[in-house]
């Protein structure tokens, strides 16, 4: 396969894209792109829509563009023009066999898919490389679903730029709500915020100080009304905030758990806001620990696991709507969360946290080999 013409300075062009599904995929896309730029000197441009574009645009010193619509039957122009596409959890952007042959697909949630998500005719069977963040047995699970040649990688987070020194005065509790996006749409995120507002109010009680909130507000689509300061953090800002807090309180998104695990920060979960977080909560509830995890999984126990992803996302949203109106649930959560905050633990997931480097190394080595194969013999 002949590669497109390189940039004026000879570097291959890499397009990095992520699904607009909360904080996690865009964060991982950014982490991988940073390694491709810094360690492999590739020409990287980040593309996205909605919350993914919102997150990427907040990162300093990178080139970010909206991913424009493609004409029917054609690949998105920005992706068609790239030598390689690093795609984090956006299978709808693998639009042709030609594009699949240049796509390095990164799956951070491989443990949650069923056979219906990866049918034999899925373009994901034809991507250049399928790289799975191997948490909760994802690589083996994907192989059982029929994917061949899955490359397992460890926790995908941005390599630390420098040691972060904790401040003398620090935040007692960092509330991290990520991007709030999921297949059920913005309405689901707003439902989740209503639930979280009640839980945070109950947790604060007569002591409203000491909490700070980090969340992606999706250009004003989401607003938290709990009387707390809210910040939209860059990736580096989030790492600094982690170092400057005593405890992290967050929805159980896998990227946040991996980040908190690497930082060794004490962690207390909020309820799940989407189906992947329900599954993550179940996995962690099965491990020894405080009683909050089993409590969080209970309300979602009757969701049909074989239902389509969008249907499960809607079911989680409707349960969260009901929980937000349930004063007994709010009171019990606040009691258990206070107990957990008394003896918080760091989550154990994702180690050794080299996934961004591992993905970038696969992409860079393959690009180099492809470029060499395209050069005429002398």
Q: What 3 state SS string does 171-234 have?
A: EEEEEEEECCCCCCCHHHHHHHHHHHHHHHHHHHCCCCCCEEEEECCCCCCCCCCCCCCEECCC
Neighbours of 320 (CB within 10 A): 23
pLDDT at 34: 95
Average pLDDT over residues 11-27: 90
pTM for this structure?
Answer: 0.88
Confidence of residue 250 (pLDDT cuts 50, 70, 90): very high
How many residues in the chain?
Answer: 378
Average pLDDT over residues 265-269: 94
CB 179 within 8 Å of CB 238: no
Average pLDDT over residues 235-248: 87
Separation between Cα atoms, residue 135 and residue 275, nearest integer Å: 16
pLDDT at 2: 40
Pick the closest to residue 212 from 190, 180, 254, 240 (CA basis). Answer: 240
- 352 upstream amide cis, omega within 30 of 0: yes
DSSP 3-state percent helix, strand, coil across the chain (nearest 5): 45, 15, 40
Q: Whose structure tokens read 């443990």?
A: 111
Neighbours of 1 (CB within 10 A): 9
Residue 3 DSSP symbol: P
Separation between Cα atoms, residue 84 and residue 94, nearest integer Å: 12
The mean pLDDT value of the chain amounts to 87
Q: Is residue 241 predicted with pLDDT exceeding 80? A: yes
Confidence of residue 91 (pLDDT cuts 50, 70, 90): very high
Q: Is residue 323 predicted with pLDDT exceeding 90? A: yes
Confidence of residue 215 (pLDDT cuts 50, 70, 90): confident
- Top pLDDT among 144 and 68 is at 144
Neighbours of 224 (CB within 10 A): 19
Q: 3-state DSSP call for residue 43?
A: strand
CB 59 within 8 Å of CB 233: no
Joined tokens for residue 357: 């480097």
CB 161 within 8 Å of CB 153: no
Average pLDDT over residues 125-145: 97
């Amino acid at each position: 396969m002949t590669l497109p013409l390189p940039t004026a300075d000879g570097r291959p062009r890499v397009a990095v894209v992520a699904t607009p599904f909360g904080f996690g995929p865009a964060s991982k896309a950014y982490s991988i792109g940073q390694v491709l730029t810094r360690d492999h000197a590739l020409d990287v441009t980040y593309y996205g829509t909605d919350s993914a574009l919102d997150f990427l645009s907040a990162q300093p010193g990178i080139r970010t563009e909206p991913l424009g619509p493609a004409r029917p039957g054609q690949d998105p122009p920005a992706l068609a023009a790239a030598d390689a596409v690093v795609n984090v959890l956006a299978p709808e952007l693998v639009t042709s066999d030609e594009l699949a042959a240049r796509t390095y697909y990164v799956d951070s949630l491989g443990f949650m898919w069923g056979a219906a998500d990866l049918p034999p005719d899925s373009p994901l069977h034809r991507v250049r490389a399928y790289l799975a963040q191997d948490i909760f047995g994802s690589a083996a699970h994907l192989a059982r679903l029929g994917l061949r040649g899955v490359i397992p990688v460890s926790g995908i987070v941005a390599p630390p730029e420098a040691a972060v020194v904790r401040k003398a005065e620090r935040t007692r509790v960092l509330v991290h709500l990520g991007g709030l996006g999921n297949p059920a749409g913005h309405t689901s995120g707003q439902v989740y915020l209503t639930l979280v507002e009640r839980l945070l109010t109950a947790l604060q009680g007569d002591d409203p100080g000491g909490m700070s909130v980090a969340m992606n507000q999706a250009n004003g689509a989401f607003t938290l009304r709990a009387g707390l300061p809210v910040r939209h953090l860059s990736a580096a800002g989030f790492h600094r905030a982690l170092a400057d807090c005593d405890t992290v309180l967050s929805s159980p998104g896998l990227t946040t758990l991996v980040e908190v695990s690497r930082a060794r920060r004490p962690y207390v979960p909020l309820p799940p806001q989407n189906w992947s977080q329900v599954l993550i909560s179940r996995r962690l509830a099965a491990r020894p620990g405080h009683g909050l995890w089993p409590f969080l999984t209970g309300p979602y126990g009757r969701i049909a696991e074989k239902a389509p992803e969008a249907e499960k996302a809607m079911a989680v949203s409707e349960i969260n709507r009901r929980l937000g109106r349930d004063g007994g649930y709010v009171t019990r959560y606040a009691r258990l969360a206070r107990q957990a905050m008394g003896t918080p633990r760091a989550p154990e997931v994702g180690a050794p946290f080299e996934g961004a480097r591992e993905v970038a190394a696969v992409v860079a080595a393959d690009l180099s080999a492809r470029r060499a194969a395209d050069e005429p013999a002398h």
